Amino acid sequence: MTNKNEGTASRIYLVVNFVILILITILFTWHATRYYSDWNNGLESFMKNMAVSLSYPAWTYDKRVIEQITAVMIEKDEIISVVVYDDKNNKLVVKEKKLNLTTTDLLFGTKRLDRTYNLIYADTYVGKVIFTYIDRSTRTFLVVSGTGAALLYIVSALLILNIKKNKKLAVMVNELNELNAELEMAFNELEETQNKIINAEKMAALGKLMVNIAHDINTPAGIIYSSLTEQQNRIDSIVKKFQSDQLTEEDFKDCLDTISELNQIMLRNAKRIIELVQSLKRTAMNEMTQTWSEST
């Protein structure tokens, strides 16, 4: 039954992890697509507006105004060069800035891209402008947000795994508490039996035997009591760590090993006590039978 429950819990854990992975992937894809679309539309709008502002100066061949406008264009982070041509494909103005591709750019796959816009004034082609730009910001965003999404999934998976382990730990702690209660009950019953035997004053013939047996029982009983006390202290410590969320896997394993060792000690001494009690019962029965025979 336990194995079946563990198998069901493992399948649920895998399904939940898969659902979280799908949701994070969808969220990342949607966010990345929206970011790239906004960036691309914004850059395209900027370049179109600049191309419109260049139409009249290109028509009048006013290089001074073209120089001023392209100086504004080249200040934009993504744009690395602006080249303006007249209607005869002659260069009017060239503005560019030095591009230093870093190791990060190479790792992220940063690309140089070109975009050309015709300059139209009064429905007449008066030239063209070619923008050269890079997609560094989008690449950086994709890598950073992708890394964030991966970390989010890892944290979610670890959180779910921790919840699963905590539930399993809680079940094991309950089982240990139940076992401890049963052991204490058995010890109490044994102690009660011992007291009854000691208080049986009518069995005078067993007096000497009772003293010896009581001595023999006290030793394993004391060991069992000490083991139970240590076991309870271990359980209390584990429960406190569990409740304060400080419980580690090493602490839990160490607790299990200690409890297992204490259980073995208690089992050996309990078996010794049982053997002593059985011996006492046989002796008492023989004595009672002999007394009854003599009285008849």
CB–CB of 214/198 below 8 Å? yes
Going through the chain in order, the beta strands assigned E by DSSP cover: 79-86, 91-96, 112-121, 124-134
Q: Classify residue 158 as exposed, middle or buried by CB count within 10 Å of its CB (0-12, 13-18, 19+).
A: exposed
Q: What is the mean pLDDT of the chain?
A: 82
pLDDT tops 60 at residue 202: no
Contact of 242 with 166, CB cutoff 8 Å: yes
- Region of residue 123 (left: phi > 0; alpha: psi -120 to 50; beta: else): left
How confident is residue 295, by pLDDT bands cut at 50, 70 and 90? low
Residue with tokens 């109490």: 188
Q: What are 213-237's pLDDT values in tens digits?
A: 666 778 888 888 888 888 888 888 8
Rounded mean pLDDT, 38-43: 90
The model's pTM: 0.49
pLDDT at 45 over 90: yes
Per-residue pLDDT, 115: 93
Query: Which range is least confidently modeled, 4-18, 30-44, 213-227, 249-263?
Result: 4-18
Report whether pLDDT(208) > 70. no
Tokens linked to 42: 């914004």
Could you read off the pLDDT of 93-149 as tens digits, one per residue?
A: 999 988 777 777 777 778 889 999 999 998 999 999 999 998 888 888 888 888 888
Cα of 10 vs its chain's centroid, Å: 15
Q: Which of 28, 84, 76, 36 is nearest to 56 (CA)?
A: 84
